[in-house]
Structure formats: structure tokens, C-alpha cells
């Protein structure tokens, strides 16, 4: 009994001493946190999406407090909460926050199944990152959407979905918070977090990322930018520029006049608002007269030429009976074992072939002629 009692007392003493040591150490090395960090963190949406550029909402709250101590909140924005949340943060920190332009994710690819035909079948892991690493995709375009849906899996707000008809992702502007998760998940960088105009979220953008020259790009996708520079020439605000065989519209300069969209012969420039992309009419078909003339020329080219003057028959002799496969190739389905086709002494078969043009030397050698 005394042994058990002594053991309990010793263990209790050890625990008490350890607790006292931990208590004093925690007080000595305690890290004091600014109470404003907790207050700012409470008004944040706690999405922890990383769209602000910091590791979660806690990191963004700390950055806001440090920026407030430095005297400005410029450059800090919670994409999920937007302007209302930033105004609350500024109120807690006793700061003023400027108005921020709304942003929306846009998919800069119009390589639908109709515009960009499939030339291969990808049968690997259903991941855009893996497909981009192991192959160039199922089409000839090395810049367009791979269609595996990494962007859809990365979105926490159900704002982007794959269209089964076009095979492309589509963004719901009413749900998109411009957090940038989809853009980070895309290995080909075809998703852009773009500044849009006002509550209607209107914008013009180039729906292509192909940097190949016009002829090569058009072979890969019918909706590719051909760098004709017509959009750049008609823009009166210096908002459109063509670089590396690809047009780009600067959202900070664009005035939504729509002249670039009208001038684009390939309908690559797209207008979007909060309801989505504006539908585009199909490219005009070729004139009927031209089409008929082309068809007539093709028919004429495909028609067989009239036979020339008959030639003298060439007699081909074989010193042994032919195999069935040789009979089919050289003489059609003719029974060479028939008596009338052979000479009893030498078993020599004579077949008459008529050709409407002289044979080449190589053809004569193949058939047994001189």
C-alpha cells in the first residue's frame, strides 16, 4: 500500500512541476497578436480560397492590419467579399478604401467540337495538368482547352461548369467571385480574371490563345485569331493590340464601343455581360454561284479521261501455273488450269491484256514484257 501511495505522490509532483514550467514558459515567450486581426477576420467570408494572394482569411487579415499601420490599404482586396467587405475592414482599421473594379473569370477559348475537330483520343488520367504534360490533347491546337475540367474541380462557388455540347467550361458571372482558383488550375492559362464594367459586368475579350500564324491556326481551329489587325486599326482608344500573332484587348482602356467585334472576320472577339456571352451568328456561307462553279470544276477533275487509241495487245507468258493470288492480281479470276489456256507440253499460259496507254518499263518487267 505504501509503494502505491509513494508512486502516486511522485507522479503528481512531477506533473505539478511540469505544469508550472510550461505556464511560466508560455508567459515568457508569448506572442502578442493585434486584436484588430481577429476583428478583421470576423468580417471576412472565411472562404480561404487564396484569391487575395495570402494563405487564407487569417493571412489576409494580418496583411490588412500591417497595411493600415503603414497608412494605406491600396492593393488589398478580398475577391469573394468584394467592395462591401473591404469597406467593413477599412471601418475597423479607421481607413478609407477606394472603389475597386469588378472582375470575372473569362475562358479565352472557343474551340468547340465544331470549330476544332478531334484528331486523337486521350485515354489517360482525366486531368488537364496530366494531359498537358503527357500529350498535346485531342486536337491539333496546342493552346486551347483540354476539356478535363480541372477548373470546375477548383471552383468552390459552383461558378464554372463544363458544357457537354461544346466541350468547354462556361462561367456563371452571377456566381463568380474572381478568386482566381480556376485560372491557377488551368495548365494552359486560357482563363483570365478580367476587369468588367459596372454591375452588368460587361466586357469585350479575345476568345482565343493561339499564337501560331494565321494559316496554321486556322487549320487547327476554325475560330482561331489570324492576327489580321483589323480590330487594332478600328479601335479609337488604343485598347486593342496584336502581339505574337494574337490580339488582346486592354480592359483598362476599352470603352465598350464594339467596333473591334464588328471588324473581326473570324468572330473571335466576344462580348459578355452578367447573363453570359452574347451568341454569335454563324459565318456566312460561300455564294451559291461560286459554290456551283467549284462543284462543277471538281466533277470535271474527277471524271475519268476518255481512253486513247487502242494499243496492240501484249502477250505475257508464264513458264509455270500461277497461284490464285497471282491470278487475281494479273489476270482477274481466270482459271489458268483450263486446257484452252495452257500448252500441254510446256505448261505455258498465254493471257492477253489490253492497255489504253503504253506501259512504263517497270510495269513491263513486272508483267513479264520487255
Q: What is the pLDDT of residue 287?
A: 41
| Contact partners, residue 104, CB within 8 Å, separation at least 6 | 171, 173, 176, 178, 193, 194, 196, 201, 203, 272
The pTM score is: 0.65
Distances in whole angstroms, Cα of residue 248 to Cα of each of 201, 209, 273, 310: 18, 9, 18, 65
Q: What is the pLDDT of residue 131?
A: 93
Map out the domains of the chain as residue ranges: 35-100, 103-277, 314-367
Q: What is the pLDDT of residue 333?
A: 43
One of 3.30.1600.10, 3.30.70.20, 3.30.420.40, 3.40.640.10 is the CATH number of 103-277, namely 3.30.70.20
Joined grid coordinates for residue 117: 475537330
Q: What is the pLDDT of residue 370?
A: 45
The span from the CA of 179 to the CA of 177, in Å, is: 5
Q: What is the pLDDT of residue 283?
A: 52
Joined grid coordinates for residue 108: 479565352
How many residues make up the chain in this entry? 370
CB contact at 8 A, 273 and 172: no
235: closest CA among 264, 192, 203?
264
Task: Report the DSSP beta bridge partners of residue 270.
Answer: 205
CB contact at 8 A, 102 and 174: no
Q: What is the pLDDT of residue 259?
A: 95
Q: Hey, how many other C-beta atoms are within 10 angstroms of the C-beta on 53?
A: 13
Termini Cα distance of the chain: 123
The residue ranges of the chain whose pLDDT is under 70 are: 1, 281-370
Q: What is the pLDDT of residue 291?
A: 44
Amino acid at each position: 500500500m505504501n509503494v502505491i501511495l509513494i508512486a502516486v505522490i511522485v507522479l503528481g509532483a512531477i506533473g505539478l512541476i511540469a505544469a508550472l514550467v510550461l505556464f511560466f514558459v508560455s508567459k515568457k515567450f508569448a506572442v502578442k497578436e493585434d486584436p484588430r486581426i481577429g476583428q478583421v477576420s470576423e468580417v471576412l467570408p472565411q472562404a480561404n480560397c487564396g484569391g487575395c494572394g495570402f494563405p487564407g482569411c487569417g493571412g489576409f487579415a494580418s496583411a490588412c492590419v500591417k497595411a493600415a499601420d503603414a497608412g494605406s490599404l491600396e492593393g488589398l482586396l478580398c475577391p469573394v467579399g468584394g467592395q462591401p467587405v473591404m469597406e467593413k475592414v477599412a471601418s475597423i482599421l479607421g481607413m478609407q478604401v477606394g472603389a475597386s473594379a469588378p472582375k470575372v473569370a473569362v475562358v479565352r477559348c472557343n474551340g468547340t467540337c465544331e470549330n476544332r475537330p478531334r484528331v486523337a483520343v486521350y485515354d489517360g488520367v482525366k486531368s488537364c495538368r496530366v494531359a498537358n504534360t503527357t500529350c498535346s490533347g485531342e486536337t491539333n491546337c496546342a493552346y486551347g482547352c483540354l476539356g478535363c475540367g480541372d477548373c470546375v474541380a477548383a471552383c468552390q462557388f459552383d461558378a464554372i461548369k463544363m458544357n457537354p455540347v461544346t466541350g468547354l467550361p462556361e462561367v456563371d458571372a452571377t456566381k463568380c467571385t474572381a478568386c482566381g482558383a480556376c485560372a491557377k488550375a488551368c495548365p494552359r492559362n486560357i482563363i483570365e480574371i478580367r476587369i468588367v464594367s459596372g454591375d452588368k459586368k460587361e466586357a469585350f475579350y479575345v476568345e482565343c490563345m493561339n499564337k501560331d500564324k494565321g494559316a496554321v491556326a486556322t487549320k487547327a481551329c476554325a475560330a482561331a485569331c489570324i492576327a489580321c489587325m483589323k480590330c487594332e486599326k478600328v479601335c479609337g482608344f488604343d485598347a486593342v493590340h496584336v502581339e505574337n500573332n494574337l490580339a488582346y484587348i486592354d480592359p483598362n482602356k476599352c470603352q465598350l464601343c464594339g467596333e473591334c467585334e464588328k471588324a473581326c472576320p473570324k468572330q473571335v472577339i466576344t462580348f459578355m455581360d452578367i447573363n453570359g456571352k452574347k451568341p454569335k451568328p454563324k459565318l456566312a456561307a460561300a455564294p451559291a454561284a461560286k459554290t456551283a462553279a467549284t462543284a462543277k470544276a471538281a466533277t470535271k477533275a474527277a471524271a475519268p479521261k476518255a481512253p486513247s487509241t487502242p494499243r496492240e495487245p501484249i502477250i505475257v507468258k508464264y513458264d509455270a501455273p500461277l497461284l490464285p493470288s497471282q491470278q487475281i492480281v494479273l489476270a482477274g479470276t481466270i482459271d489458268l488450269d483450263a486446257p484452252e489456256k495452257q500448252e500441254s507440253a510446256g505448261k505455258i499460259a498465254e493471257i492477253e491484256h489490253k492497255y489504253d496507254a503504253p506501259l512504263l518499263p517497270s510495269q513491263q518487267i513486272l508483267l513479264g514484257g520487255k
